[in-house]
Structure 1
């Protein structure tokens, strides 16, 4: 359904609509759906041509802002969802209406495929959308596309289940349309944005590049020239999860997450055609998952991109692939650097880390810091045999570091990885190990706090640590 709705909306945008309303109703088991716009409308001849199957030659040159391709969109979109299509259009104060009814054609097969021309009296009999027809009459121009006899909801399900399925289809379609037409819904400063709503609820643009964030890296755009036509390539590196809120990071992950949604996003006249693919020019890797590249192509290059009938797939020619391969080799470095820099910074945040990162013969290992104050405070109290036992325990912990599990969790959702919570009583018990040692060194309160804040978990609980030391200082006095 989402692809079918997008096809009809393409026609409205080509007709220069500023507002598009999608209305639907379960209608007690006889559901209908209508798409109404305030575009330029159609004359009798234009509407008749629009109702014709395959009304345009895909090789014909189109206007630069035309989102169509084969002249099949309205009909194939409709018949993929329902068996009855009614189109009502107003242009120059005149309303024309025509209808395809597949059941009627089936029952009268000897008459062939004949479209029905509706008169004003026929429109009065359409009980589903009287308010939409009234609104159209009050507009200067516009079009209503009405779907009835929706037949993609399984007949064997109960009415309640079928109604739920319809609502789920609409919800999924909303998310799809907010992404496909996001550059129309949020046209930018100085430009008029398109308004699309579903049952009066406005759609909100879903920008896959998070361009509103200061943490998004916009790399230099490049041009690929083909047949004297320009293909514009604009790479972005989305923010690392430490640079944005958890909600924002999750929002821009998209269905399937960042790993799945990396890649090229191909737009034809600002309308998204295909997303999250590298066209087999490189694999989808963890270190490149924040890279998304916008490609803008004109409709005059449809033939070399092999745009399909549904306008949901495309394949670049070899000449374009060579240009893209050169571009992504440069972009790949920038995307990986975001993760590599983060790894370096995390290494030096705590002055007394529990873990050391060691590189030997190209191999990376993580070792427990034997000089950590908490470990030293225990080893200093143990005899030789006990220290040997403790060392063996620490080596066992190092050897069992869950690197595979950690990498898998970090790859799938790094924002979900968190440190165990230490409550105030547990923190007080840990601080109690150090406090007598620091007091024996005649350190004052501020120096004790400063030393403790170099060690986890005190470093992550600064206020609580200061509060506990205040209490200990009072008791000590």
Structure 2
């Protein structure tokens, strides 16, 4: 028997809607915090999510600070000079899904990022902030307290101001500090391996932030620094500015006429612009190699409000194949939010429905070339390059601390890298007066004689990444030594030769 109206039926007919009789409030169980902390954030993705908040707050400077207590990592801080928050705004920020509305251009989406990202990595989250019109104040979530009933601590105003004052070189009149304690990654570090952990962790974080936030970093008015700092003395062990890593940053395309603009008609949205690129083959740049396996870097690069949210992958349109490794497609997600493109909470991937693939089948450029034709051309460029027999350079252990990001990038782009090796760093330390440098294989470092630092720098101000010419020469000359099992006499003789010549050169420079 047919229903007489929506939601009704007569006799034993089907109910087309479920009848209701009032409603009641069912707030989430405190165990919801466990689900929130299980979103699958990597350490790098979690930090990037917090920096998204800094960008939304109008920050120009952000510092990611690893705090050391001797050989132990105690805390992680994200410090910014954004507009800050007063008490009311802090309460909203620390409430799960507390912010209900975001500006159209905001990077925030669901009001859970700060809490989900932080609780995925740490058992204590503290947020300290001040505005131009309000005093420093803070809130703290302890995971255990949140599980027991969403109890958020009010941080002492005196401590809040002390922490703001500690970073007044960044914050000035306004800004925010996010502090993580009981960081789970830090608890896994074996005794004596803190430097090794930091080398790898900072490199991964530097590359991740440089890639996913590359459009913001390229503008010149926004800067991120990664700092390793002694908690009690504030001595800086390392200080690295994050450089943008453009996944489309080649100098010359792999095929003339690229990049090309394609238009895909997507059901429910309309025309969506696709910018198709073909990378030059056998490229060693960080922008090409990206993060993770190279085969995963081909495919779609989705952006939301200039923030990269997916770096590669074909989203079920086709499978990844080695001969398509030069093919990358830039897509800026359309506004407003829609059912075709769905973004994950951690902003590290896009889900599409089948209408996207159907639109790609119909996509063409201004000359009528199909999207399938583009993929065929990208494959042809790869296959042609594979047939050419070109000389290969010997792989090198990657450069580490003490080398500027720009110089490091050139070294990495020009030399194939030995996978899985800790980087070679540089340290200025007291040494014997008859040497300019020593090779320290156990610490994976080249030690430079602190007594000759000013002579090498020509009385210019020193810094973490100073003496780039000397460091790059020594890196290239002695990289092989770190790959050998033991130091042979002939190699030691070569080190002695370099020291004798360089010491004479430095002393000659000082006599001028």
TM-score normalized with structure 2 length? 0.58
Partner of 2:76: 33
Residues 224 and 233, structure 1, Cα contact 8 Å, conserved in 2: no
Instruction: Please give the residue correspondences for 1:155-234 in structure 2 after superposition, counting only pairs within 5 Å.
Output: 158-161=190-193, 164-187=196-219, 192-199=220-227, 200-213=239-252, 217-222=258-263, 224=265, 227=268, 231-234=272-275
Residue 193 of structure 1, CA deviation? 4.2
1:2 equivalent in alignment to 2:30: no
Residues 98 and 115, structure 1, Cα contact 8 Å, conserved in 2: no
CA distance in 2, matches of 1:253, 1:165: 22
Residue 222 of structure 1, CA deviation? 2.7
CA distance in 2, matches of 1:335, 1:38: 44
SS at match of 1:31: strand
- More displaced 10-residue stretch of structure 1: 28-37 or 263-272: 28-37
1:70 equivalent in alignment to 2:110: yes
Residue 14 of structure 1, CA deviation? 1.0
Residue 343 of structure 1, CA deviation? 7.5
1:91 equivalent in alignment to 2:131: yes
1:237 equivalent in alignment to 2:270: no
Question: 2:157 is matched with which residue: 120, 136, 143?
Answer: 120
**5+ unaligned residues in a row in structure 1: which ranges?**
350-414, 417-477
1:19 equivalent in alignment to 2:69: no
Residues 235 and 291, structure 1, Cα contact 8 Å, conserved in 2: yes
SS at match of 1:87: strand
Residues 82 and 147, structure 1, Cα contact 8 Å, conserved in 2: yes
Tell me the matched-pair count. 329
Q: Supply the RMSD in Å over aligned alpha carbons.
A: 3.1
Residues 299 and 329, structure 2, Cα contact 8 Å, conserved in 1: yes
1:80 equivalent in alignment to 2:120: yes
Partner of 1:467: none
CA distance in 2, matches of 1:184, 1:36: 17
CA distance in 2, matches of 1:117, 1:230: 50
Quickly say closer, same or farther: Cα 1:79–1:326, change in 2 above 3 A: same
**5+ unaligned residues in a row in structure 2: which ranges?**
1-42, 228-238, 364-370, 391-414, 417-512
Residue 254 of structure 1, CA deviation? 2.9
SS at match of 1:233: strand
SS at match of 1:184: helix
Residue 218 of structure 1, CA deviation? 0.7
Partner of 2:186: 153
SS at match of 1:277: coil
Residue 136 of structure 1, CA deviation? 5.7
CA distance in 1, matches of 2:319, 2:115: 38
Partner of 1:105: 145
Quickly say closer, same or farther: Cα 1:282–1:214, change in 2 above 3 A: closer
Partner of 2:301: 265
Q: Select the structure with the greater relative contact order (CA < 8 A; seq sep ≥ 6).
A: 1
Residue 16 of structure 1, CA deviation? 1.6
CA distance in 1, matches of 2:44, 2:252: 28
Residue 224 of structure 1, CA deviation? 4.5
1:53 equivalent in alignment to 2:96: yes
Residue 6 of structure 1, CA deviation? 0.8
Residue 181 of structure 1, CA deviation? 0.6
Q: Deviations over 1:184-211 (max 9, x none)?
A: 1113xxxx44211101411111111224
1:44 equivalent in alignment to 2:87: yes
TM-score normalized with structure 1 length? 0.62
Q: Deviations over 1:58-104 (max 9, x none)?
A: xx6x3221111111111111111212222122212423422224267
CA distance in 2, matches of 1:10, 1:333: 37
Greater helix percent: which structure?
Answer: 1
CA distance in 2, matches of 1:125, 1:317: 50
Partner of 1:424: none
